[in-house]
């Protein structure tokens, strides 16, 4: 039996986490759940691992989950561990795995699990523990042999029956001092339904207008004759994770119950699009259309009803949230069901730009301003809190695209949107735009105007919080107290004159000031403590 350590390095960048401190992704817990079948398994956050590297030396295997943007953090951790004397095996996985050649050429790594890990990781750990199979017999594993980087096969997609058979690691009270503070992501859908593609010309791809992306035969959309990766040009999800596969209600409920039993109080139902849940069942085959058929409302309501039958959820001690949805799938019935169960929680919608032509042709995203405005109105009327994503610096952006995006922000003002998040395009591997750099110099004035408008919008929306009393989980760090709203929202810097420790407690906070990315408030009372 192996002694295994799983390390969550997601969103750690060069080694410091600058935002979303309360987020715990689903992937590393899935990895730890697989590992438990092969030995004693510990789960560390990146921060705990890097602070106490000496504790890592006793493990036979280190497994690290990371994104491409986390290369610096991974390098720092592995270089330190090897220099301190770690001699076990090191395995890397997660979205960063598609850069396996770079990883294996520059870091002290033994194996990279490329893409989805359920099948290759299971076989790899079996090999390490029993020597029963050869590395060449395991799919999607990259390694170095005689100084040459090799990969056993391309990445593979995990069948839904395998997804349902795995119980992700849930002993979160062992890895997190106050698990009630964190948003634990529970995967409900793997993969994305958008198999449109950018219809553009780049140094690497030139669309030939074959129309396969729009074929009424959904299976035809899976492959492109010239190899353009599917989905939005900036996003790697469809290529990395394939079309949607929905986990069973039983497996999701079991995981949520296990998390709650170990102290979790905030659960996020995770997926590229929550409204894709069981939508593949409506077509009876692979789902490659992002907007048709409509959401499987019966399956969604059945899932939410089962989760809200859990006593801790039913009595309000545990909050259930969802993250991303596609605006084109929102109608009155969808909004009504989401509002019935998720009232008061945030919900995220990607718009990216306000230009219909740009979204459809350049990005390969058939979702437009009118879709997002309609969805936001319907959702906000049902008590949900829409958050909208926009991107600047995208390749091929024109001044007209920025003008359309600025006009879109004006339209969103009347649709109940609580927050707009504007972020800079980053070219990622396994995307249609992977070889394209951010385009910011040419339109700095338009970007500045858009950013100022978004900041103003968010400030005006946040003014509604002034004087409001919000329940939040409290966390003390380096002499400061932070409040994480129970139903999600801006991080609150909390004023508290008492000397008693409040970390891990749920408090009632009155908002006294706001900023573009935070709020300030004073602690009115402590509602509960561990």
Cβ 473 vs Cβ 506: under 8 Å: yes
Q: How much is the pLDDT for 19?
A: 67
Strands 266-270 and 183-187: parallel
Q: How much is the pLDDT for 132?
A: 80
367-379: b (≥16 Cβ within 10 Å) or e: bbbebbbbbbbbb
Sign for the pseudo-dihedral over CA of 464, 466, 468, 470: positive
Residues of the chain with CATH 3.80.30.20: 170-463
In sequence order, the β-bridge partners of residue 150 are 143
Using alpha carbons only, what angle is made at residue 347 by residues 346 and 349, rounded to the nearest 5 degrees? 145
| C-alpha distance across the termini of the chain, in Å | 35
The distance of Cα 12 from the centroid of its chain, to the nearest Å, equals 14
Fold of 2-158: Rossmann fold (3.40.50)
Cβ neighbours, 10 Å, residue 399: 11
Tell me the C-alpha distance between 5 and 91, whole Å.
10
CATH class of 170-463: alpha beta
Residue by residue, DSSP assigns 481-511 as: EEEEETT--SEEEEE----S--TT-EEEEEE
240-252: b (≥16 Cβ within 10 Å) or e: bbbbbbbbbbebb
Q: How much is the pLDDT for 116?
A: 97
For the chain, the C-alpha Rg in angstroms (whole number) is: 23
Tokens of 125: 């750990």
CATH number for the region 466-528 comes to 2.40.50.140
Cis geometry, peptide bond prior to residue 349 (ω within 30 degrees of 0)? no
Q: How much is the pLDDT for 100?
A: 96
Helices (H), 346-443: 356-357, 369-381, 399-412
Looking up tokens 């891990």 gives 504
pTM confidence score: 0.95
Cis geometry, peptide bond prior to residue 293 (ω within 30 degrees of 0)? yes
Tell me the C-alpha distance between 224 and 198, whole Å.
11
Q: Which three-class secondary structure state does DSSP give residue 258? A: helix
Q: Rounded to the nearest 5°, which phi and psi values hold at 472? A: -145, 150
Tell me the C-alpha distance between 487 and 183, whole Å.
10
Residues of the chain with CATH 2.40.50.140: 466-528
Nearest CA among 329, 328, 319 for reference residue 299 = 329
Distances in Å between the Cα of 312 and the Cα atoms of 109, 264, 316, 385 are: 42, 10, 6, 23
Tokens of 10: 């997601």
E-state strands within 201-331: 245-246, 266-270, 319-322, 324-325
Residues of the chain with CATH 3.40.50.2300: 2-158
Cβ neighbours, 10 Å, residue 501: 11
Nearest CA among 120, 124, 5 for reference residue 60 = 5
Per-residue pLDDT of the chain (530 residues; tens, 9 = 90+): 899 999 999 999 888 776 678 999 999 999 999 999 999 999 999 999 999 999 999 999 999 999 999 999 999 999 999 999 999 999 999 999 999 999 999 999 999 999 999 999 999 999 999 888 899 999 999 999 999 999 999 999 999 999 999 999 999 999 999 999 999 999 999 999 999 999 988 888 899 999 999 999 999 999 999 999 999 999 999 999 999 999 999 999 999 999 999 999 999 999 999 999 999 999 988 999 999 999 999 999 999 999 999 999 999 999 999 999 999 999 999 999 999 999 999 999 999 999 999 999 999 999 999 999 999 999 999 999 999 999 999 999 999 999 999 999 999 988 999 999 999 999 999 999 999 999 999 999 999 999 999 999 999 999 999 999 999 999 998 888 999 999 999 999 999 877 677 899 999 999 999 987 789 999 999 999 98
Helices (H), 218-316: 237-241, 249-261, 280-283, 297-307, 311-314
Q: How much is the pLDDT for 18?
A: 64
Nearest CA among 55, 34, 58 for reference residue 44 = 55
């Amino acid at each position: 039996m192996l002694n295994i350590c799983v390390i969550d390095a997601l969103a750690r960048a060069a080694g410091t986490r600058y935002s979303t401190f309360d987020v715990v992704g689903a992937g590393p817990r899935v990895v730890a759940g697989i590992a438990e079948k092969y030995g004693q398994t510990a789960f560390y956050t990146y921060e705990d691992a890097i602070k106490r590297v000496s504790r890592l030396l006793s493990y036979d295997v280190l497994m690290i989950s990371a994104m491409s943007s986390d290369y610096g953090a991974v390098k720092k951790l592995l270089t330190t561990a090897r220099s301190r004397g770690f001699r076990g095996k090191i395995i890397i996985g997660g979205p960063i795995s598609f850069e396996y050649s770079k990883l294996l050429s520059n870091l002290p790594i033994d194996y990279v699990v490329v893409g989805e890990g359920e099948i290759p990781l299971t076989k790899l750990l079996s090999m390490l523990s029993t020597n029963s199979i050869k590395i060449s017999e395991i799919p999607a594993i990259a390694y170095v042999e005689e100084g040459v980087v090799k990969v056993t096969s391309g990445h593979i997609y995990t069948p839904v029956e395998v997804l349902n058979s795995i119980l992700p690691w849930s002993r979160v009270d062992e890895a997190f001092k106050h698990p009630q503070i964190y948003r634990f992501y529970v995967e409900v859908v793997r993969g994305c339904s958008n198999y449109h593609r950018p219809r553009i010309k780049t140094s690497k791809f030139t669309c030939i207008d074959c129309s396969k992306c729009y074929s009424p035969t959904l299976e035809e959309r899976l492959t492109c004759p010239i190899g353009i990766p599917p989905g939005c040009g900036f996003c790697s999800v469809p290529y990395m994770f394939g079309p949607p596969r929905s986990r069973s209600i039983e497996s999701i409920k079991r995981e949520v119950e296990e998390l709650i039993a170990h102290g979790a109080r905030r659960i996020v139902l995770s997926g590229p699009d929550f409204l894709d849940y069981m939508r593949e069942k409506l077509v009876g085959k692979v789902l490659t259309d992002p907007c048709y058929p409509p959401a499987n409302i019966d399956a969604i309501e059945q899932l939410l009803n089962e989760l809200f039958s859990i006593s801790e959820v039913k009595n309000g001690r545990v909050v259930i949230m969802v993250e991303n949805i596609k605006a084109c799938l929102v109608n009155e019935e969808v909004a009504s069901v989401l509002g019935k169960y998720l009232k008061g929680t945030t919900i995220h919608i990607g718009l990216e730009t306000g230009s219909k032509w740009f979204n459809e042709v350049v990005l390969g995203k058939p979702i437009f301003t009118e879709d997002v405005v309609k969805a936001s109105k319907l959702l906000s009327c049902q008590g949900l809190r829409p958050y909208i994503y926009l991107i600047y610096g995208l390749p091929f952006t024109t001044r007209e695209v920025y003008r359309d995006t600025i006009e879109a922000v004006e339209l969103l003002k009347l649709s109940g949107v609580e927050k707009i998040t504007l972020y800079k395009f980053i070219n990622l591997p396994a995307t249609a735009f992977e070889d394209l750099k951010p385009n910011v110099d040419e339109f700095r004035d338009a970007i500045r105007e858009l950013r100022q408008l978004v900041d103003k919008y968010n400030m005006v929306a946040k003014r509604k919080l002034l004087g409001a009393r919000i329940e939040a989980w409290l966390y003390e760090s380096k002499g400061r107290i932070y409040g994480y709203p129970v139903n999600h929202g801006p991080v609150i810097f909390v004023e508290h004159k008492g000397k008693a420790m409040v970390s891990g407690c749920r408090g009632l906070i009155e908002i006294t000031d706001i900023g573009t990315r935070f709020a300030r408030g004073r602690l009115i009372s402590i509602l509960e403590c561990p």
